[in-house]
Structure 1
Amino acid sequence: MTTAEEPAITCPVDHGLLDFNPMVSPHREDPHLFYRAAREQPPALSPTLGAYMVTRYDDLVTVIDDPETYSSKPAVPLMYSNPPEVVEVLRAGNVPETGAVVNEDEPEHTPIRRVFDAGFTGARVRAMMPTMRATADSLVDAFATGGIEHSTPAGEPSAIPARGRADLVAQYAVPFVQSVISAIIGYPPQDTAQIQIWTDDVATLWNPLAPLEDRIASAGRMGDYTVYLQALIDERRAHPREDLISDLVHGANGYPGLSDALVHNITRGAARVAGFDTTRDAITATMLAILQNPDVHDRVLADPARTIPKVTEEVLRRDAPHRGLFRVTTRDTVLGGTELPAGTMVLLLFGSGNRDETRFPLPDTVDIDRPNVRQHLAFGRGLHVCPGAPMARAEIRVALETLVRRLPEMRLADGYTPSYIASYFFRGLETLDVTW
């Protein structure tokens, strides 16, 4: 993403270091190679992304806590900011677009955010817990049968064979989070596979590093997604339910319902894309940390209710599932020693700030007793802190509690080496192969 006038670089730039591209090696496998080195100098320009990289914790907090100087308007790229070939296809499909809630500054932000928040209240989290537990148990049951449906007494999990193998990404985290987020939003469960295709298309259209042909193909499917979502919006307008689409359509917390275009944008983007990828990746990253660290594993098995929340927060810090968001300066300013003219793009790299040595000693270590772990930025901070964070924490806790309760002998498969998806915004495992 570029600005109309590229800002001047005010510090020495090593293009080998600062040409950050999380889609390819070596940054795809380990972005911390970049983060560690980048924190040693002031914010500098990445030629690939056309934005200044903000990697140090204090600089990140400065930006987040000053929305008047650092506007959120470009936080997530708009689909219509794609090349003309992509935009032409989107227009042909009558695909609506507005700024997402994460792209809004005040005063526009609050009326949208307060309606959005209604989908993730404490009451909604508590209401979803039985669904989460039943879904997690049914997925572990499927490990026993290779996914073949079978019958067990109501409410009674099936026995797991003494020996087995599973991929906790494809066979557990993906279907678990899909089921939960669909229920929260109000998507019919039978449509999950198609909705996931469309969700991946939205992420592709947000990704300025995705191949042009992939973006054109994704744009071609957005017309069908638009028709599908509009039918749900119209149905909820006539017959509201206890789901996010109904909240967005009818309003909540004293604020009126949103326009159909905003409902489209929030539902397909902030709710479905962000709500799926980040939670899926947090579940598997946390399980990987448990299995890689024997002392943590022992503590989790001995006291899961107390220990799982602790290890979850530490892994959210150490392996933030969301890479970061853009901001643009509204006036000339100086950040961490770098002069930034008005209109300069910056990219907030939360994963780097979460391993800043000045804030988190021994940042690469998994320390589940870290006293300041809740200062991590995995869910953002301030005005745009993630509204779904309480729901995500509940999903992670239930998913992990179920695994350690049902499969206490689980271990990493022999020869397993972590590999990571090629993603612009998210950092997640491709597979997590385990045996027991």
Structure 2
Amino acid sequence: MTEIASPPAKCPIGSFDPLDPQTMQVPHPWYQALRKEAPVHFVAERGMWFVTARDLVAQALSDHEVFSSAFGLPQMPPPASVAAEVESLKAQGWDMIPTLLTADPPDHHYYRRMVARAFTPKFVAQREPTIRSIVTQLLDALPVGEPVEFVEQFAAPLPLRVIAQALNVPDARIDDFRRWSDQFALTIGAEIDDAGALEQARSLLEYQRYFAAELEDRRTAPQDDLLTGLVQASNANDDEPLTTGAALSIIQQILIAGNETSRKLMTGTLHQLAADPTWWTWLQEDPGPRSELLVEESLRFLTPVQSMFRITKAEAELGGYTIPAGSLVVLVFGSANRDEAHFEDGEKFNPQRPNAKTHLAFGQGIHSCLGAALARLQARIALEDIARRFSSVELAQDNDLEYEPSFMLRGLKRLHLTFQAN
């Protein structure tokens, strides 16, 4: 087993580049240096301010009047050489409306209210039988005693199928559903080439046309699914109905948040369990309650959504640093969640950590993740069932431990494991 990149011996903060390939593979030594030397740091080459200390990240999250979420799209822009072609493809679809992630009050409150009416605690609780059934099917298909690529065989299809069921996506369109989700995530904190940018734009248009037709169908033929909930959400309080463009933006965010983050959480957690059998044994001793503790520490330690943008609406003072108005700010949750000032031995994975649940993996304040309960539920069920079914989980020999090239979404590309039966 070989690491794709080694931690740098030194991390001079003046050389920090979030989009450097090696930095994206091994970011945490850089974040440690930034927390110590400059917890609010301007990366001139990228035009971004990076906030890495937990107290400062939390402070910015709670001050939405200054640290605005109206920053545009979280994706990096397409290469200039194909920008016109990308815009031409986008013009054939619907404008991406700022809704949950990229809107400020009062618009944000309206969109969150509408989604909350569809994405209720009851709706989440009703997913449990489906989640258990999907977990069982996927585990039944895992080979025992021989290497398996865990991302493709379990970590990716689990959240994909859970969300597809909630949106009533038929089995015949699951492959398209996966492709759309993967395409949307490619430019979140990462850059792609000309061909990739054009393929992403085509996938966006295809996604929009499919779900626009499904939304129109729900307006006349309601079903027991999340799409119907979005269409009917305005009925509860005489709100304006969601436009098709707004609903498409919300569904796209659900796709990315639900699929990408849960996939990376499950993969990273199994990597930790296989790398340190002590925690595997600990989980097996009492899988029910300990799976919940494990999920919280994994969220803290792994932080699949490593960071999120804000833009300053006015000059801001943060931790003794002055950030000019109109600045693009990156709140680094992945650094905040390992801050030694808040988490003792923050760089160590410890599911018995008493304050693990104070992590910022789901954000904080008005923009905290609406899907957190669903993400926790499916991760807990999966880990509990894995611990009860298998006697051990080990890292196979051919792991390169390569991470996706993004400073915003962090997760292993692949993970080869060997499971042994009880």
Common fold: TM-score over 0.5: yes
Contact residue 100 and residue 108 of structure 2 kept, 8 A: yes
- Given candidates 204, 210, 217, the residue that maps to 1:235 is 217
Answer whether contact 1:75 1:325 (CA < 8 A) is retained.
no
In 1, Cα distance between equivalents of 2:76 and 2:243: 18
- TM-score, length-scaled by structure 1: 0.87
* Contact map agreement 1:249 1:260 (CA 8 A) in 2: no
Residue 208 to residue 290, structure 1, CA distance change in 2 (3 Å): closer
Match of 1:7? none
Q: 1:307 to 1:168 in 2, by over 3 A?
A: same
- Is the partner of 1:408 in helix, strand or coil? strand
Match of 1:155 in 2: none
Contact 2:90-2:201 within 8 A present in 1 as well: no
Pairing of 1:249-264 with structure 2 (within 5 A) = 249-251=231-233, 254=237, 255-264=239-248
Aligned length: 403
**Aligned AA for 2:170?**
P
Closer, same or farther: CA 325–86 of 1 in aligned 2, 3 Å: farther
Cα deviation 1:339-375 (Å, max 9, x = unaligned)? 1111111001100000001010101112222121111
1:156-175 → structure 2 map (5 Å cutoff): 161=144, 163-175=145-157
Query: Structure 1 residues 106, 177: closer, same or farther in 2, change over 3 A?
Result: same
1:59 is aligned to 56
Aligned to 2:254: 271
Contact 1:185-1:243 within 8 A present in 2 as well: yes
Equivalent residue for 1:430, pick from 406, 413, 422: 413
What CA deviation, in whole Å up to 9, does each residue of 1:133-156 have, x standing for no partner? 111111121124xxxxxxxxxxxx
**343-352 or 186-195: bigger deviation:** 186-195
SS at match of 1:429: coil
SS at match of 1:235: helix
Most deviating of 353-362 and 338-347:
338-347
Counterparts of 1:231 and 1:132 in 2: how far apart (Å)? 27
| Separation in 1, partners of 2:289, 2:125 | 19
* Candidates 309, 314, 323, aligned match of 2:292: 309
Which residue pairs with 2:7 in the alignment? Answer: none
Distance 1:31 1:233 in 2: 41
Query: Judging changes above 3 Å, is the alpha-carbon distance between structure 1 residues 86 and 276 closer, same or farther for their aligned structure 2 residues?
Result: farther
Name the structure 2 match of 1:20.
18
Partner SS state of residue 25, structure 2: coil
Residue in structure 2 matched with residue 226 of structure 1 by the alignment: 208
Unaligned segments of structure 2, at least 5 residues: 1-11
Cα distance in 2, alignment partners of residues 121 and 133 from structure 1: 19
The alpha carbon displacement at 1:217 in A equals 2.4
Q: Which runs of 5+ in 1 are unaligned?
A: 1-12, 145-160
**1:190-229 paired onto structure 2 within 5 Å:** 190-204=172-186, 206-207=188-189, 209-229=191-211
Pair 1:43 & 2:27 matched = no
Instruction: Tell me: CA distance 1:330–1:181, structure 2 relative to 1, closer, same or farther (3 Å).
Output: same
CA distance in 1, matches of 2:72, 2:276: 35
Partner of 1:337: 320
For the residue of structure 1 that corresponds to 2:329, the secondary structure is strand
After superposition, the C-alpha distances for 1:6-51 in whole angstroms (9 at most, x for unaligned) are xxxxxxx9431x22226x11x2221102111111214111245321
Distance 2:402 2:340 in 1: 25
Q: In structure 1, how many angstroms separate the alpha carbons of the residues matched to 2:400 and 2:13?
A: 31
Q: Secondary structure at the match of 1:186?
A: coil
For the residue of structure 2 that corresponds to 1:370, the secondary structure is coil
Distance in 1 between residues matched to 2:346 and 2:141, nearest whole Å: 37
- Counterparts of 1:78-93 in structure 2, within 5 Å, are 83=80, 84-93=83-92
Instruction: Determine the structure 2 residue equivalent to 1:101.
Output: 100
Q: Name the SS of the counterpart of 1:101 in structure 2.
A: coil
- Provide the C-alpha distance between the structure 2 equivalents of 1:381 and 1:82, rounded to a whole number of angstroms: 33
Query: What is the RMSD of the two structures over their aligned residues, measured on CA atoms?
Result: 2.1
Deviations 1:312-343 (A, max 9, x none): 11111011000111111111121122211111
- Residue matched to 1:150: none
2:126 is paired with a residue whose SS is helix
- Deviation (angstroms), 1:419: 2.1
For the 8 Å contact 1:53–1:349, the answer to whether it is kept is yes
Say if 1:55 and 1:207 are closer, same or farther in 2 by CA, change over 3 A: closer
Aligned to 2:158: 176
Find the counterpart in structure 2 of residue 126 from structure 1. 125
Paired AA for residue 172 in structure 1: F
Change (3 A) 1:82 1:380: farther
TM-score (norm 2): 0.90
Which of these residues, 255, 264, 271, is aligned with residue 288 of structure 1? 271
Q: Which residue of 2 aligns with 1:113?
A: 112
Secondary structure at the residue paired with 1:334?
strand
Aligned residue number for residue 402 of structure 1? 385
